[in-house]
Structure 1
Amino acid sequence: MANAYDPGGYKQGRADGFNKGKQDGYKKGIEDAQAASNNPPLNEISLKWREFQWADKFAAQFGDSVTLNDQSMECLKETVKSTIWKLEIKVKQQSSPIILKMFKAPVEDQDLIELNMYRKASGILADVMPTIYLIQEGMSGDDVWVFMEYVPQLKGQVIFTPDHFDRIIPSLAKLHAQTYNDGFYKHWDLFADWLPRYDSEKTSLERQKTHKETLAYLDIAMERPEIEQRLESSYDLLRGILKKKGPIYFPELIQAGKSIIHNDLQTPNMGCGNVGEADWTIKFIDWEGARFAPCWFDMFNLMGVFFAYRKDWRSDEESVIHRCSHLYAAEMLKYGIRFDGDPVRLYKMAYLQRVLERSLYLQLHWAVEGQKPAFLLDGYLEKIKVWGKELGLHS
């Protein structure tokens, strides 16, 4: 046995200690790695959640303590303008998804419209917008973070058909009725300085500019053989309408009333948490196109755009228009709003007005400049020819 004077015993003890430390260090390293995999470093959202004590602000809304699940965060979409995250919070041992939309600085006009809808209109339109839980200004510079209710998109929940219009129109009428005519102007102070208005001087000048450019692109298009063939039978008719009328083709639409419209009623922009029930509770998402305009425009946005893209449903279009136009008028009547005239005519006027004041220009512009395929041009030309004659736009 080595004694105190035996250097071999010292060396052996030091070697044993080194090996023991090495084994303990390896074991601790494994434990730390496992802990790191179970509790990865907090990302920016989790850090900001703690820094700004958002749990306390959420607790005030939910009436109980709220915790953020740092391990359940999904980036749904990112663009140069914004990022959308799906997060998870726990309240009373119940987990719930929420949405965080980050508006990146500088916030441009279209995004400012959506952001202001959340800031200023959510109280008025609470039944048809996601609940806004928290808006935090000045994040990471001048970014704005908006925490809101998660509403599952219709896209992905249903195979969409014209029958589904019947489930959406009651909520659309509720949206319009809440800001219809005087209902909008009594909240003038909320909207005056940022929400586009159809009757404003700025919007009027934009319509006149688009009207002139549509005429110009129509002539340029006739010089392109591949487009001229599509336009040949409609050119004289179109030029006559554009030269003699417009840019307001149907004053009856303005007389029928204006309201805040959503203006982009695609299935990703409509959410519903009860698609299994007879009456859907629709909430409209993504409000960057919102404006104060003739309320019938949203019926074009809902049905007209659908039928323009879905040729397989064209044979049902007239019957669906008749059913849904009358349904919309009946739903508006529940709020005391009565339209003069035939609802089907008002819908067709809204369709042609929007096509002639904007959509036709876009199709011609894309075709001439080669930016996008002008898929919808032929359908729009047919509607101008048939419905235009029916509505007295041309003989």
Structure 2
Amino acid sequence: MNRSKDSGGYDKGRLDGFNRGKQDGYNKGREDARGTMTSPLNPQNSQTPQTPQTSQAPQTPQTSQAPEDPQNTPLNEVSLKWREFHCADKISGHFGHPVTLNDGAMECLKDTVKSTIWRLEITANQQSYPMILKIFKAPVANQDLIELNMYRKASGILPDLMPLIYSIEEGISGGDIWVFMEFVQQLKGQVNFTPDHFDKIIPALAKLHAQTHNERFLQHWDVFADWLPRYHSESSTAERQKNIKETLQYLDKAMDRPDLKIRLDSSYYRLQIILHKGPDFFPELLQAGKSIIHNDLQSPNIGCNNVVDANWNIKFIDWEGARFAPCWFDMFNLLGVFFAYRKDWRSEEDAVIHRCAHLYAAEMVKYGINFQEDPVKLYKMAYLQRVLERSLYLQLQWATEGQKQAFLLEGYLEKIEVWGKELGLY
């Protein structure tokens, strides 16, 4: 089926179908619930006197509570497929004991047209463990396929930096793919995030990059070659060239609007000069090396199960943006995006950049990787490269088409003016 001519229509149709199906499922669930409540098999409708419960001794924190009576817990699709595909047998090896699924302790964390995420609970050796089930809905493509392939093929190469994959079940419910994985608690909600926390994340980030840096990535070429985006592939380069061209067009459109002209007037000619030098503005970034990068390092995508300890065991979550690209881009993703939104920390930005850039470089040295350029300079280059090839384009597009508020535009323009002059872009 060829969807290239109307991919927007296809996506809208898929979303409409998803919403209709979701409503139908909701209605059916209500009917089933009514049937259950009026059924003579429901204990609440039985006329048999109930035996008073006796008090029990409190359980230790390590011992799981008894699951609900299976006869009284309706089995949803997850429970049924768990049994049909013998998931317990496949997962038990990771725990060293037989495992059972607690059918009464499931929570749907997220449900979209492309995927569903469940938080499950299993019991092994009388202890309960949380577990994540991510359902990739057919057809799995684009960024969803990248994330799925990271779980399928890269978890063995980056075992300490990704959630542990327990089992992957293919071909469920018409082509859906179910991934059972380790539950890793997001940093968001656990800590009040400040720049001090970067120091706990950067060592893991450097380890991620070092394991696939330059020729180390090539050692696994057969694993990644046919699906992981590469920054300097023909298609990626063409996309960046297209973004630069459209950024220039949006810049002209913005100058025709009085409200945006005021914001852009002092930067217009400078941006024209700089953008025409693209799409590759700093060859030094390429010399510093490329690695598999995560590409979306916000606190919901960074996990840690031991935030009470001095040294955090960081694992990165949600890999749909992964690609083989200049390793310093992830430092922009980590620090640059934080300071773009957190104006309350702007006064400390320069000091934090200096500390974190040097920390990252020092961590990379531990793995035999030495940067020839000053780390702070490399960070600023990565920042401007990403802003000029992508972020500025999005801000201008949102502003001219009214899709979103361009809250970050002034901050980007300031960095382009100051750091662009410092780095010789104009």
User: CA, structure 1 residues 31+57, in 2 after alignment: closer, same or farther (shift >3 Å)?
Assistant: farther
* 1:275 matched to 2:307: yes
* 1:176 matched to 2:209: yes
Match of 1:378 in 2: 410
Match of 2:59 in 1: none
User: CA, structure 1 residues 27+198, in 2 after alignment: closer, same or farther (shift >3 Å)?
Assistant: closer
* 1:364 matched to 2:380: no
Match of 1:240 in 2: 273
Match of 1:97 among 95, 114, 130: 130
Q: 2: distance between equivalents of 1:101 and 1:153?
A: 15
Match of 1:45 among 78, 82, 86: 78
Match of 1:7 in 2: none
* 1:58 matched to 2:74: no
Amino acid in structure 1 at the alignment position of 2:90:
K
Q: 1: distance between equivalents of 2:291 and 2:143?
A: 19
Q: 1: distance between equivalents of 2:328 and 2:41?
A: 72
Quote how far apart the aligned CAs of 1:39 are: 1.9
Q: 2: distance between equivalents of 1:32 and 1:69?
A: 27
Taking the TM superposition and a 5 Å limit, the aligned residue runs for 1:147-296 are 147-243=180-276, 245-296=277-328
Radius of gyration: which is bigger? 1
Match of 2:335 in 1: 303
Match of 1:4 in 2: none
Q: 1: distance between equivalents of 2:335 and 2:166?
A: 32
- Give the ranges of 4+ consecutive aligned residues of structure 1 lying more than 3 Å apart after TM superposition: 24-29, 31-38
Quote how far apart the aligned CAs of 1:108 are: 1.9
Which has the larger displacement, 59-68 or 92-101?
A: 59-68
SS for the counterpart of 1:64 is: coil
SS for the counterpart of 2:181 is: strand
Match of 2:36 in 1: none
SS for the counterpart of 1:210 is: helix
User: CA, structure 1 residues 203+27, in 2 after alignment: closer, same or farther (shift >3 Å)?
Assistant: closer
Amino acid in structure 2 at the alignment position of 1:252:
E
SS for the counterpart of 2:248 is: helix
Q: 2: distance between equivalents of 1:135 and 1:121?
A: 13
Deviations 1:317-363, CA, capped at 9 Å, x for gaps: 00000000000000000001000010000000000000001100000
Q: 2: distance between equivalents of 1:37 and 1:47?
A: 12
Taking the TM superposition and a 5 Å limit, the aligned residue runs for 1:3-152 are 29-30=45-46, 39-152=72-185
User: CA, structure 1 residues 218+25, in 2 after alignment: closer, same or farther (shift >3 Å)?
Assistant: closer
* 1:323 matched to 2:368: no
SS for the counterpart of 1:260 is: strand
Amino acid in structure 2 at the alignment position of 1:374:
A
Contact 2:284 2:373 in 1 (8 A): no
Match of 2:8 in 1: none
User: CA, structure 1 residues 31+124, in 2 after alignment: closer, same or farther (shift >3 Å)?
Assistant: farther
Q: 1: distance between equivalents of 2:43 and 2:125?
A: 38
Deviations 1:45-98, CA, capped at 9 Å, x for gaps: 111111111111112332211000011000111111100000000111010000
Q: 2: distance between equivalents of 1:185 and 1:102?
A: 31
SS for the counterpart of 1:102 is: strand
Amino acid in structure 2 at the alignment position of 1:213:
E
Quote how far apart the aligned CAs of 1:33 are: 12
Q: 1: distance between equivalents of 2:73 and 2:208?
A: 44
Q: CA RMSD in A?
A: 1.9
User: CA, structure 1 residues 348+26, in 2 after alignment: closer, same or farther (shift >3 Å)?
Assistant: closer
Match of 2:423 among 379, 391, 394: 391
- Gapped regions of structure 2 (runs ≥ 5): 1-39, 51-67
User: CA, structure 1 residues 33+389, in 2 after alignment: closer, same or farther (shift >3 Å)?
Assistant: farther
* 1:314 matched to 2:346: yes
Q: Between the two proteins, what is the percent identity of the paired residues?
A: 73
SS for the counterpart of 1:89 is: strand
Match of 1:9 in 2: none
Amino acid in structure 2 at the alignment position of 1:30:
S
Match of 1:14 in 2: none
User: CA, structure 1 residues 33+371, in 2 after alignment: closer, same or farther (shift >3 Å)?
Assistant: farther
Q: 2: distance between equivalents of 1:301 and 1:186?
A: 26
Amino acid in structure 1 at the alignment position of 2:130:
P
- Gapped regions of structure 1 (runs ≥ 5): 1-23
Quote how far apart the aligned CAs of 1:172 are: 0.3
Q: 2: distance between equivalents of 1:33 and 1:83?
A: 41
User: CA, structure 1 residues 375+135, in 2 after alignment: closer, same or farther (shift >3 Å)?
Assistant: same
SS for the counterpart of 1:85 is: strand
Q: 1: distance between equivalents of 2:85 and 2:151?
A: 20
User: CA, structure 1 residues 33+55, in 2 after alignment: closer, same or farther (shift >3 Å)?
Assistant: farther
SS for the counterpart of 2:75 is: coil
Match of 1:352 among 357, 369, 384: 384
Contact 2:70 2:103 in 1 (8 A): no
SS for the counterpart of 1:287 is: coil
Deviations 1:344-383, CA, capped at 9 Å, x for gaps: 0000000000000110000000101111110100000000
User: CA, structure 1 residues 233+65, in 2 after alignment: closer, same or farther (shift >3 Å)?
Assistant: same
